[in-house]
Amino acid sequence: MENSPLKARRNHTKVETASWLFLPLFFMASLVIVGCHRDSRAVEFVLSDTVHLQSGDIVFRLGESKESRAVSTVDRKGEYSHVGMVMNVNGRWMVLHAVPNEHDSKQEKDSVKLEPLGRFFRSDRAVKGGIYRFPVTPEDTFRLLQKGQQLYARHPLFDGQFDCEDTTEFYCSELVYFLFLNTLNMDITEGRRHQLPLFPDLIFCSDIIQNPKLEEIYTFILDQ
């Protein structure tokens, strides 16, 4: 029997329930139980002078943490596991991103962070990274910067429920999706979602990077 046209038009990536049922539990456990730590040998990333950034640029990374491996396991189309948005804050290139288990202290809660680009791509966090850009106007970049600053001022927590309907908390790709949708009315995912048992529809890095309007600005892979 042929698939119905309605099902064929659905813009979702479905994961087979039987073989992937254990993954949501692994995914959640990896994001919850891993404690914060820093490799004493970690080196901060230094961007080449030939690369010119702008607010609203999107940065992706792939790490070797359990969180990164969990995301990579379920996002089989993706080459990255984490994403944030670049902001020029007082002349410094910063990254706004939502991440669990990267605390400066044990008392700190998982939340949306604003940190230097070099720290976002630090060698113990990123073995691979990329900077990408949508074709937006200078006015749009300023609006994205303003929206990012306003959102960060609220100090929202990390969205451990992975619920895109709740805009009081965010996970990484949900945050970037929200910023572009609510600032520029631009759905950078073009409706793509991943479906996992026990989860609401999820936005993964691959759902963003598949957008044909996204331009690659710079990529790197660390020597292992």
- Domains along the sequence of the chain with CATH: 5-34+52-221 (3.90.1720.10)
Cα-flanking dihedrals φ and ψ of residue 164, to 5°?
-70, -15
Find how far residue 158's CA is from the centre of its chain. 12
The pLDDT profile of the chain, 224 residues, written as one tens digit per residue, is 444 444 434 455 444 443 444 455 455 545 544 444 455 588 999 999 999 999 999 999 998 877 788 888 888 788 999 999 999 999 999 999 999 888 767 778 899 999 999 999 999 999 999 999 999 999 999 999 999 999 999 999 999 999 999 999 999 999 999 999 999 999 999 999 999 888 999 999 999 999 999 999 999 998 76
Residue 131: CB atoms within 10 A of its CB come to: 20
Give the Cα separation of 99 and 83 in Å (integer).
Answer: 9
pTM of the model: 0.84
Nearest to 132 by CA among 190, 215, 45: 215
Find the DSSP H helices in the chain: 5-9, 17-20, 23-33, 66-74, 117-120, 138-153, 172-184, 205-209
